[in-house]
Structure formats: structure tokens, C-alpha cells
Amino acid sequence: MTEEMERDENVFLMGEEVGEYNGAYKVSEGMLAKFGPRRVIDTPISEAGFSGIGVGAAMTGLRPIVEFMSWSFSLVCFDQLYNNAANVRYMSGGQFKVPIVFRGGNGIAHQLGATHSHRVEALYSRVPGLVVIAPSTPYDAKGLLKTAIRCDDPVIFLESELMLNDRGEVPEEEYTLPIGVADVKREGEDITLVSWGKCIKLCLKAAEELAKEDISAEVIDVRTLRPLDMKTITASIRKTHRCVVVDEDWGFCGMGDGIRAKIYDEAFDDLDAPVARVCSEEVPVPFSHNLEMAMQPSVEKVIAKVNEICYR
């Protein structure tokens, strides 16, 4: 964010506690001191208000970054994202662009309870006009966020509080990553694991364990949920002939089910087994940590599902 604000004076950050408090999770630490209160703006606790201001600012040519402390809170400003941000360019016949990034913590974190643990991928990925990104590594997060800030369409950028301390190689030189291009995080021959965000870490750990059982798992990180890179997914399935989709959403009408449907549409004849899914149990997210962990995907659940699909 700092690099893009240095590069383009039209970029600014707004949200709850992004300034004086240096961000609820310290993501914006030092930015208020560097850019001042006109470009790092603390807002009231009114997501509908400041997300609407962001959409209006984008329509006038600015490039806002709007931080939600939690994507669960975006539900109170659903109209601004779902109706306004997604549709202004279309409804105006292209007269207005909405170059805005909405970003913040998505999904289940640690004992935040049912109302603060929503997974919003399926809600926003079904909307034409929105771009939806969910990175899994520091390298991908930086490259994709820079691209998102430069994008002329509204971007839903899904992060995870549990990954903010993750470390990884990030080049010092300037780089961006393209929207709509998946990444093969691990190559394999026997089964394809498709996921995004923090569930990629589960898939990679599961792939390591499966290798000990002579099962070679390919891990596909979709990175962008809309547009979805089906070309990379189907190419992998044509090689492995089996697939498990892993995500932390609920099963019914979840993001994983949407991806499964597209796989059946585009790669049905290449499958030797049904496309399986590992997802969260159909219950509200418990506050109890033991129950919270039990209802989510795990390495053990991924391994068990792979063995089932491989008829082991």
C-alpha cells in the first residue's frame, strides 16, 4: 500500500483504526505519519457510510483502499458492494469506473465467534463486476494487492488474520502478479487439490504426508476466485484424473461447490472419480476453540478424503 501511495497520489487508505491506531492488525503501521490524515483516514464505525464514500471517491477518479476490520462486517454494507460498486460501470454505460479495493480479514480466525467468522468468497464471487482475490503467501499478497490497486474495477481482497505473521520471500524490486491466473504450488501425478488462502497450507501439509503413502498430490492455488482460472485447474485434472476442493466455507452453496460445478462442466470426461470437497461443518462457528477447530477442514480430513477418492 505504501509503495502504491508513493507511486500514485490518487491512492488513499480509509477504514476503522487504520490511522492513529496503526491498523487493527498493524497492517497500516507508520502510514499515517508518512502520508498524513488526508490520505490515511480513520472512519467512524459505519461500514455502509465509509464504503459508500469510497465508491463515490472512485467514481471521481481517486483510488481508495477501504479496509474492513473483518469481512464479516461487510454484511452491513452489502448494498454498497453488491449493488453500487459492482454495477456502476455497467449502469453508466462505461462513463464511470470504480477503481477501489476493499480488503481485510476473511474467514475463521481464533475464537471470534459465529458473527465474526464468516467466509464471504461465495457471496462476492458470484457477482459480475467484482474481482475477488484470496492470496496464500506474502509474495502473492504483495504482487496481487499492487495489481488490485491499479485495477479499474472494484476488487474484493480477502486476507486472513491467522496469516498476517506468515513469512516468505518477497523481492525488493518492483513486481506485480496478474489477476485471473492460478499457481501450481506443488506438482503431482495422482490427484489435484484445489484451494486458496490459508487452506493452501493444509493442502501442502497433506501433500507431504500423502507422499509418504505413495500418493502424489498436485496443489493448485487459484489465487483469484473471480475471474477463476479454469484452464490451470482442468489441465491438472487431465493429468491426475482426480480432484478434491478444499475450503473453509460451509458446503451448501459454498465457493467449493461452485468450483466443483465448473469442473464437471469442463472436465467431466477426464475424471476417474467424483470431485470431492473438504469444507466446514454445517454449523455456526463455535467460540470454543476445540469445537472451532473440529468443524473446520484439517490435514487429517484432506488426507482421508484423498484416500477415499483414490480408493485406498
The residues annotated with a catalytic role in the active site are 47, 116
CA pair distance 141, 177, nearest whole angstrom: 9
| Cis, peptide link before residue 227, omega less than 30° from 0 | yes
Strands (E), the chain: 11-15, 40-42, 63-68, 101-105, 131-133, 155-159, 183-186, 191-195, 217-221, 224-226, 243-250, 276-280
DSSP classification of residue 275: P
- What are the CA-CA distances from residue 217 to residues 99, 207, 285 (Å)? 38, 5, 29
Residue type, 245: V
- Cα angle 63, 102, 78 (rounded to 5 degrees) comes to 120
Backbone angles phi, psi at 274, to 5 degrees: -60, 150
